[in-house]
Amino acid sequence: MKNQRIVAVANQKGGVGKTTTVMNLGAALAAFEQTVLALDLDPQSNCTAGLGWEGQGNTSYEVLEGLVPLREAKVPTRFPGLELLPARRDLVGAEVELLEDPNWAGKLRQALAASPTEHQWILIDCPPSLGLLTLNALTAADSVLVPIQCEYFALEGVSELMRTLERVRTAWNPTLEVEGAVLTLYDERLSLSHQVVDEVRRFFGDLVFQTIIPRNVRVAEAPSFGQTILEYDIRSRGAQAYLGLAEELLRRRRPNEAIRVG
């Protein structure tokens, strides 16, 4: 679809805020009158649970395998403008099955092309690894957004991720961009957090978003209620940070468009 942006949210380290970012950035973009699909490609399916889907039906496994078109598998969430392609743990089996397909890296791209949607943004929640599912996401994506937690060893593995992006560009997706790096789990009371911010900005330069996502209890609580932080507590620091991140992302991508909250 013209003007559709597919963003893989990826980092092989776990616990850096990938799922939290997909859920809450997706809701924040929707609050700015964007149409968004959160595509859960992680067998842990935390994004699916966090957005409140407990039903039966088709998932990203069936879409990836070409058994069901995306348009028939996506489901609404309670947040207007935000839809979900859910996942279940059987997605683990897809990695084994992908190895038997000569086009294994392009399966998701093929599935998205075969069943285009009207979403302006597709945010892909990737597994905490650089396995076949993440490579499928990077092959299908226009860009990759890298959440980096403000903790010790924050940049551990990031160089490997950057090398993987180069391999993906060479082999399957020459136009893949780095959307940027977003700092998460920031605690302003800790000198370590300030040091990590400086270190990440030296590594990524202008690709680092100015908006920093704080460590916030309300953000951590929201998924247990099947809600985004904008539904759970829009006045919280976490909600305001994700709204700021969405606005910054939109201004980077569409500098000449007016941006307003719906």
Indicate which CATH number applies to the domain containing 49: 3.40.50.300
**254 has pLDDT over 80:** no
CA dist 183 and 158 (Å) reads 13
Is residue 171 included in any domain, yes or no? yes
Both tokens assigned to 130: 């650089």
Is residue 256 included in any domain, yes or no? no
pLDDT computed for residue 1 by the predictor: 54
CA dist 209 and 176 (Å) reads 18
**19 has pLDDT over 70:** yes
Nearest Cα to 178, choosing from 204, 202, 212?
204
pLDDT tens digits along 188-208: 888 989 998 999 999 999 999
Nearest Cα to 143, choosing from 216, 209, 213?
209
**119 has pLDDT over 90:** yes
Is residue 16 included in any domain, yes or no? yes
Is residue 77 included in any domain, yes or no? yes
Dihedral pair phi/psi, residue 229, rounded to 5°: -65, -25
Beta strands at 143-149 and 75-76: parallel, antiparallel or unpaired: unpaired
Nearest Cα to 47, choosing from 68, 70, 27?
27
CA dist 212 and 33 (Å) reads 22
User: pLDDT tier at 55 (50, 70, 90 boundaries)?
Assistant: confident
Both tokens assigned to 157: 């593995």
What integer is the mean pLDDT of 233-253? 96
Is residue 257 included in any domain, yes or no? no
**262 has pLDDT over 60:** no
Q: Is the dihedral of CA 63, 122, 166, 163 positive or negative?
A: negative
Report the domain count for the chain: 1
CA dist 175 and 169 (Å) reads 7
Is residue 259 included in any domain, yes or no? no
Is residue 255 included in any domain, yes or no? no
Domain that holds residue 214: 5-250
Q: What is the pTM of this model?
A: 0.94
**2 has pLDDT over 80:** no
Is residue 262 included in any domain, yes or no? no
The residue written with tokens 């028939």 in the block is 72
